[in-house]
Structure 1
Amino acid sequence: MKYNLRTIMLRAWKNYRKYTELSFAECLHRAWITAKAEELNAKRIERAKMAAGIIEETNTWSGWKKLGYEVLHGSKALFGTELIWGSKGDGAIYKARFFGRSQVQEIATV
């Protein structure tokens, strides 16, 4: 597999500036863990989505928020899966819940 080295370095520098207590080497290590986990995470999401029989666009609560949407109050996640999270440097596994496009609305701007 080929990795986008530019993206890895940008993530390492972003983390280095954000977490001033970490060395650049540690930030680079975490960026590599994240890059290596991306493909595996994408496969896990696709497998869980297929197992649940979901065909609509899905994303996590925070993923929808970054795209300018909010999950409707009271909505239940369509499916969940375990993903690798590399930003803490330990490759910990966490449970992610996914919501469908039909469960979100655009964030109202005032």
Structure 2
Amino acid sequence: MKEFRFLVFVIILIEVGIFACGLRVVYNRHTYRTMFIQLEREQQTYHSLIDELNRAKVELASLEQPSNIVSSAKFQGLAPVNNNEVVIIHPTPSLKNPSSNGSAGAKPTKGAAVP
């Protein structure tokens, strides 16, 4: 009789262990699936950011060309440049060049408005 009770106890213990292992497998699969979905989302975000970076590099390279600056300004609705209002600022004369007239940097060009 004792042997029978011992065998029933061992069988119940094995069944509980198998049930716990089954629950753990289901939980792990759920966790892995959730992580996989999150990884896919992060990869999509990464690829979209890489695409945006490449577009920004192309746009920056195209904006560095002077002809594109004017067309971009017109596209954004900025006023066209009036040559009578343009002021060219010359760099400050250096100490190595004593032949400069000693003016302090800004020289308006002919016909330009003084700020």
Normalized against structure 1, the TM-score is what? 0.27
User: More relative contact order in 1 or in 2 (CA 8 Å, sep 6+)?
Assistant: 1
Query: Normalising to structure 2: TM-score of the pair?
Result: 0.26
**Between structures 1 and 2, the one with greater helix share:** 2
